[in-house]
Amino acid sequence: MVIQKPSQTSTPAATVVSAEMECRTRNDRQSYLSITRAIANAQFVLADQELSRRLWQDVGDRDLEVGRILHLLYGGWDLDNNEEVQDADAKFLALALY
């Protein structure tokens, strides 16, 4: 009986890490957009001070970057337009690199 070794795929580690980082970045961005939309709704549409307070507490509990959320909230972006908000978020992150 001949036992064959399983062949190894030649996937570079950098590709795996890059895909993992991209997934984390996408999930991170979705978290920021979701909480920003919820805060905007609570503050600007519902004028619900208690809900707004709880959402901001969630931001603190999750250790999210307040400046990033404020940029999205008060930057004049259409929060219902995914492309516009993602572009605004990307620009904010690019500024943070410098």
Give percent of the chain above pLDDT 70.
72
**Residue 81 confidence (pLDDT):** 96
**Residue 36 confidence (pLDDT):** 97
Using CA atoms in the order 30, 32, 33, 35, what is the torsion angle rounded to 10 degrees?
Answer: 120
Interval 52-56 mean pLDDT:
98
pLDDT tier for residue 27 given thresholds of 50, 70 and 90:
confident
Per-residue model confidence as pLDDT tens digits over 72-82: 999 999 999 99
Q: Residue ranges of the domains in the chain?
A: 20-97
Per-residue CA distances from 52 to 5, 76, 85, 86 (Å)? 58, 19, 20, 23
